[in-house]
Structure 1
Amino acid sequence: MKIAKEFKWEMGHRLPFHKGKCKNLHGHTYRCMVEIDGAPDENGMVLDYYELKRIIDPIIEEMDHSFMVCSKDTELMNILKSLETKTVVVDFDSTAENICLYLLDRIKKAGLPENIKKVKVRVLETENSYAEDELSLR
């Protein structure tokens, strides 16, 4: 059985390697759909949506109204620090694909109940562009 919940946040980033507009500082209204697959419990629930929200919200809140920056982008990190800007420092370029993998890793580390067998995350960077991946837990 599968259930899913959507989350949304605002975040800035840049892709220094990009040959087009994404090399510039810019931001998106990101959305992600977190889908979990598992066996329903004795009450018929895979996971209470409130519990899923409790697990995911702290991850989203960390990114919301922040600037995601790769640790190798030292010039930008120094600027963001001087501006006292909320940042999420990561060890990857902030593509939709890498953000998707980042979220999967963070969700895995957050600890889901034993009945959850698989997690899928879809990250929408724009209203019609997304990256998606899934992770088997057991």
Structure 2
Amino acid sequence: MSNIRITKQFSFETGHALYGYDGKCRNVHGHSYKLSVTVIGTPITETNNVKYGMVIDFSDLKKIVKAEIVDVFDHATVFNKNTPHVELAKELSDRGHNVLLVNYQPTSEMMVIDFAEKIKKHLPKTITLHSLKLQETDSSFAEWYATDNE
């Protein structure tokens, strides 16, 4: 049976600031992120299986990505918890804002690495995460490929 790649796309709004950066992105700002998640596997061949012919049900992939990424990052502000931004984060959080403190600089590159690890943990054993594409703007994106990280 052939390996088939399945891709599902997601979107979410997230704010962040890059502490120590030498450009505009050191200021708190946000993006309308677009995330493409591609998995690879062989279609189910058991004719009595309700998922017959599918690599993975798109709705099952959606549940994983929504729970791990979209519902967590959507309309949140992300800061590196190892920077003085923790003071701003605490004040925003105390005022009822959704703030995430992460162990990395919240660039698209580092976010896509984080997302890959979170998604891989929840995929069925027969499915492999092939790639992620995190689009920050219309012309800027970061990509993660399993083959680059073996």
Shorter-chain TM-score above 0.5: yes
1:95 corresponds in structure 2 to 107
Give matches, 1:1-138, under 5 Å. 1-42=4-45, 43-59=52-68, 60-73=70-83, 75-84=84-93, 85-109=97-121, 111-135=122-146
Q: Which has the larger radius of gyration?
A: 2
Q: Please, what is the CA RMSD of the aligned residues?
A: 1.5
TM-score, normalised to structure 2, is 0.84
* TM-aligned CA deviation for residue 18 of structure 1: 1.6
1:77–1:113 CA distance, 2 compared to 1 (3 A): same
- Could you say what secondary structure the match of 1:83 adopts? helix
TM-score under structure 1 normalisation?
0.91
Q: How far apart are the structure 1 equivalents of 2:125 and 2:91?
A: 44
Distance 1:82 1:94 in 2: 19
Runs of 4+ in 1 over 2 A off after TM superposition: none
Q: Structure 2: give runs of 5+ residues left out of the alignment.
A: 46-51
Question: How far apart are 1:17 and its partner, in Å?
Answer: 2.4
Quick check: 2:79–2:89 contact (8 Å CA) kept in 1?
no
Q: Deviations over 1:79-106 (max 9, x none)?
A: 2222222112111101110010010011
Contact 2:18 2:26 in 1 (8 A): yes
- Looking at structure 1, the residues matched to 117 and 100 of structure 2 have their Cα atoms a distance apart, in angstroms, of 15
